[in-house]
């Protein structure tokens, strides 16, 4: 009765993968630390894993895909209106000015600072602001797309307006030549700001400014990597449609048949109509907070895993709604609070790195499960069949404790330290409904478990290694341990790559493997009595090493055959 009870306890310990919660927490935590070094500050632990499943990124343009270093490229001023033009640019602004000696420094949005820098070449910014009393201000809003400031001027008041061309030109009787000229710049990816003023009854057109924000050098490669990885990148921007489309085309974000729309158009669509076009949506210009929120909700309802980037207060609702909300280091505190990830360098490339890390976390969990379940299956099969054949458990309590250390301790946990493979971003995103343990993994677990337990049973019954009877228990114990160590190496590669290809990439695992092997030698040769086993001759150690290495050799041969078959199929399809 006591023997049956002990055997049951042994089987329970062997069957339960109690190290899984530890490896999940460890893998997520370590990747959070790594991502922080890559300029992605993760606020929520679960966000690391979710990043690996992202298949849509709704990205802001300015500062993420572009450098956010706005430069004033050109100004086109109506004849005789130069003074009021720069008065508008300097006073009708929310940028701050700081005087240091004789030099003026500016802070604020890229657009505002670029305009102040242009105006400072002709006027003292601080002095001009002080000369005119501000009576009222209507700050720029993404819905009205303009900023209005009313100032005291001479014996009356002057209204200054600057904003989007499509809004400002409706307030004046400006010719089509001006609109054509503006559209010409917008088609080249430039941002155009129009300026108006009113002293009496009607607004007067004062001209426009052409600003340029260059595309980040890393954005080209990053967008291409996303597309290769099955991730759709959608640009949601406050810019004009022509400007946004030009930038999107430069980044190869637009394919034939894609939808390039304005926020107004999106807002006019029903949820059903929107969902129909979402798979081919590439650019949304003049998007408002409600537009962004509507798009994110629709993507999620269709089953997409969505990431949203932004930096302004208006971006916070969409960022909060997304599966992964990403804010910029330069963003507002409200936006950062709503986000899951903060980009310390504002770079789109960092998002791609975070996705790669997320995918790697998922694969590391798969590696651990592959190893753990292989060990568990081989242990349960061998222990059960040994009990049925001999009536005695093959491992005593101390041996089982040491086996459990191998299964759930450092040798197993180091699988969670595998670095991301270069092929990770060549694969499609992980589906939400995907099982952590795939059919291919189950096949490997079954084959490895059966192979290990079969070899151990053959040794138990037939003693094919030809060892002394008193060494039998020690041989079975050592063979099981070394099988699992070599099986851990097999578990490092989930695909068809050779285990030798990345053997040096996980140095902690190599160190732990060596230390575990040394500990096994110490246990067998110097602590044999407490463990109830016998020391082994050198030749037996050689035999056991050769036998247990077979699990790697067989796996490598199997993968080599599959690789050759795949290469032949590929060659035939090309021919």
- Which amino acids are annotated catalytic? 60
Kind of pairing, strands 232-236 and 259-262? unpaired
DSSP 8-state code for residue 80: T
113: its two tokens: 């600072």
Sign for the pseudo-dihedral over CA of 405, 406, 407, 408: positive
Find out whether 158 and 234 touch, Cβ atoms under 8 Å: no
Find out whether 313 and 325 touch, Cβ atoms under 8 Å: no
331: its two tokens: 């963003």
244: its two tokens: 């946004």
Cα angle 385, 391, 393; round to 5: 70
Contacts of 469 (CB under 8 A, 6+ apart): none
Count Cα atoms within 13 angstroms, Cβ side, for 257: 4
Could you give the CA distance from residue 124 to residue 141 in angstroms, rounded to a whole number?
A: 27
Find out whether 295 and 284 touch, Cβ atoms under 8 Å: yes
Helices (H) and strands (E) in the chain, counts: 23, 16
The alpha-carbon radius of gyration of the chain (Å, integer) is: 33
Place of tokens 């050109």: 74
Could you give the CA distance from residue 399 to residue 455 in angstroms, rounded to a whole number?
A: 19
Buried b (16+ CB within 10 A) or exposed e, 159-194: bbbbbbbeebbebbebeeebeeebeebbeebbbbbb
- Which residues does residue 195 pair with via DSSP β-bridges, in sequence order? 162, 207
Could you give the CA distance from residue 286 to residue 265 in angstroms, rounded to a whole number?
A: 10
- Which residues does residue 66 pair with via DSSP β-bridges, in sequence order? 215
Buried b (16+ CB within 10 A) or exposed e, 11-29: bebbeebebbeebbebbbe
Count Cα atoms within 13 angstroms, Cβ side, for 8: 5
DSSP 8-state code for residue 436: S
3-state secondary structure 91-114: HCCCCEEEEECCEEEEECCHHHHH
41: its two tokens: 């500050």
Q: How many residues can be counted in the chain?
A: 575
Alpha helices in 414-471 (DSSP H): 439-462
Kind of pairing, strands 324-328 and 341-343? parallel
Could you give the CA distance from residue 52 to residue 305 in angstroms, rounded to a whole number?
A: 10
Could you give the CA distance from residue 515 to residue 503 in angstroms, rounded to a whole number?
A: 17
């Amino acid at each position: 009765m006591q023997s049956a009870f002990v055997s049951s306890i042994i089987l329970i310990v062997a069957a339960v993968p109690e190290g899984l919660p530890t490896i999940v927490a460890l893998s997520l935590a370590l990747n959070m630390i790594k991502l922080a070094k890559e300029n992605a500050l993760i606020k929520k632990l679960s966000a690391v894993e979710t990043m690996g499943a992202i298949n849509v990124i709704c990205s802001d343009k300015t500062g993420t895909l572009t450098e956010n270093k706005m430069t004033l490229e050109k100004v086109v001023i109506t004849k005789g209106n130069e003074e009021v033009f720069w008065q508008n640019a300097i006073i009708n602004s929310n940028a701050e000015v700081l005087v240091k000696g004789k030099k003026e420094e500016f802070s604020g949005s890229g657009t505002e600072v670029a305009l102040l820098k242009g105006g400072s070449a002709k006027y003292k910014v601080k002095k001009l602001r002080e000369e005119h009393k501000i009576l009222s201000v209507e700050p720029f809003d993404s819905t009205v797309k303009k900023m209005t400031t009313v100032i005291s001027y001479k014996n009356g008041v002057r209204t200054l307006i600057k904003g989007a061309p499509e809004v400002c030109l409706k307030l004046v009787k400006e010719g089509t030549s001006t609109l054509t000229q503006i559209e010409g710049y917008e088609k080249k990816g430039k941002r155009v700001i129009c300026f108006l003023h009113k002293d009496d009854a009607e607004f007067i057109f004062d001209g426009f400014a052409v600003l340029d924000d260059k595309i980040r050098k890393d954005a080209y490669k990053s967008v291409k990597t996303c597309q290769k990885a099955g991730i759709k990148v959608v640009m949601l921007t406050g810019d004009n449609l022509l400007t946004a489309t030009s930038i999107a085309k430069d980044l190869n974000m637009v394919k034939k048949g894609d939808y390039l729309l304005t926020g107004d158009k999106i807002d006019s669509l029903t949820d059903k109509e929107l969902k129909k076009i979402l798979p081919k949506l590439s650019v949304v210009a003049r998007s408002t907070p409600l537009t962004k929120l509507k798009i994110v909700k629709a993507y999620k309802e269709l089953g997409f895993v969505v990431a949203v980037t932004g930096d302004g207060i208006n971006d916070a609702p969409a960022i909060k709604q997304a599966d992964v909300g990403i804010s910029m280091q330069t963003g507002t505190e409200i936006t950062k609070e709503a986000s899951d990830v903060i980009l310390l360098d504002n770079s789109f490339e960092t998002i791609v790195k975070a996705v790669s890390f997320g995918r790697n976390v998922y694969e590391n969990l798969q590696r651990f499960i592959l190893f753990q379940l292989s060990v568990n299956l081989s242990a349960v099969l061998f222990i059960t069949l040994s009990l049925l054949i001999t009536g005695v458990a093959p491992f005593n309590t101390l041996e089982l404790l040491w086996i459990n250390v191998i299964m759930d301790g450092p040798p197993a946990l180091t699988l969670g330290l595998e670095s991301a493979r270069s092929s990770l971003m060549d694969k499609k995103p992980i589906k939400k409904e995907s099982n952590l343990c795939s059919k291919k993994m189950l096949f490997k677990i079954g084959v490895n478990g059966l192979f290990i337990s079969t070899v151990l049973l053959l040794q138990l019954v037939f003693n094919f290694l030809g060892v002394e009877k008193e060494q039998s228990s020690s041989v079975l114990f050592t063979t099981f341990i070394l099988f699992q160590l070599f099986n851990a190496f097999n578990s490092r590669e989930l695909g068809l790559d050779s285990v030798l290809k990345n053997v040096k990439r996980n140095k902690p695992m190599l160190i732990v493997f060596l230390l575990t092997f040394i500990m096994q030698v110490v246990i067998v040769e110097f602590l044999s009595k407490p463990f109830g086993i016998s020391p082994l001759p050198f030749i037996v150690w050689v035999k056991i090493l050769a036998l247990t290495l077979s699990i790697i050799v067989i796996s490598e041969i199997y993968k080599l055959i599959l690789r050759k078959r795949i290469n032949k199929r590929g060659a035939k399809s090309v021919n």
